[in-house]
Amino acid sequence: MNQEVVQDQVEKGLMLPLMEEFYTIQGEGSHTGRAAYFIRVGGCDVGCHWCDVKESWDPEKHPPTAIDQIIENASKYSKTIVITGGEPLTWDMGPLTQGLKERQMQVHIETSGAYPLTGDWDWICLSPKKVKMPVPEIYPKAHELKVIVYNKHDFAFAKAEAEKVSSSCKLYIQPEWSVREKMIPLITDFVMQNPEWQVSLQTHKYLNIP
Ligand SMILES: C[S@@+](CC[C@H](N)C(=O)[O-])C[C@H]1O[C@@H](n2cnc3c(N)ncnc32)[C@H](O)[C@@H]1O
Ligand SMILES: Nc1nc2[nH]cc(C(=O)O)c2c(=O)[nH]1
Ligand code: SF4
Ligand SMILES: [Mg+2]
């Protein structure tokens, strides 16, 4: 396929730069502990300095892959699919999510919300970033708000972000991995004082699974 055709397919969301796909256990947030197939799409320009998948940022490093192939692979593993990245909303998620849902799969997204929401989702985990704030339309649609705490200022950010989501949205505080030992005591205090919040840990890193 020539470059122009590939670019056109990517623009339509029919091909996506695929970094990796793996069957594992959701490690974070509301569905922690649930087996799920992860599809990690390359491309992100949000630029979190502590991002744990910086290799995902440059879309050119990940092969444009037909969504039919992605859907076919995913359907062999699980009924629960997590689309992550990179920032999946860099791309049009309409065709991929439609294809997965036609096969009766439950489709979840991990997103910063920095770009307009495309796709049809059963679960939206919104993890807002100060450096590139979510588009306003995504807040009422989020099922889960997962704020990463790197320093003590992030608690005030978390509270301000919680004002924007729906009353049924679950609220999670997750320590940034490299500072977890320092932040966990502050997080536990925060959650005890603000019991509408729950702790989320990156349990897959403790379990040594992807
Ligand atoms: C790698 S991101 C990809 C999806 C999307 N770009 C986003 O940020 O939501 C997946 C999840 O991991 C979180 N995350 C990334 N790096 C982390 C770190 N060092 N410690 C804790 N959570 C991290 C993100 O906030 C997000 O909730
Ligand atoms: N097991 C596992 N759970 C996860 N939940 C969110 C992840 C992500 O990178 O989006 C992730 C991940 O990379 N692995
Ligand atoms: S938005 Fe997500 S993928 Fe992008 S830099 Fe931040 S944590 Fe990493
Ligand atoms: Mg991860």
Q: For 1-40, write each residue's pLDDT tens digit.
A: 999 999 999 999 999 999 999 999 999 999 999 999 999 9
CA–CA separation, 31 and 70 (whole Å) = 22
> For ligand 2, what atom is nearest to the CA of residue 84?
10
Tell me: is residue 154 an annotated ligand-binding position: no
pLDDT band at 65 (very low <50, low <70, confident <90, very high): very high
User: What would the two tokens of residue 105 be?
Assistant: 């799969």
Q: pTM of this prediction?
A: 0.99
Over residues 64-83, mean pLDDT? 98
What are the residue ranges spanned by the domains of the chain?
Answer: 3-207
CATH value of 3-207 in 3.60.20.10, 3.60.10.10, 3.20.20.70, 3.40.50.300? 3.20.20.70
- CB-ligand 3 contact for 146 (6 Å cutoff): no
Q: What dihedral do alpha carbons 62, 68, 71, 76 form, nearest 10°?
A: -110
* Contacts of 20 by beta carbon, 8 Å cutoff, 6+ apart: 38, 40
Q: Report whether residue 205 contacts ligand 2, using a CB cutoff of 6 Å.
A: no
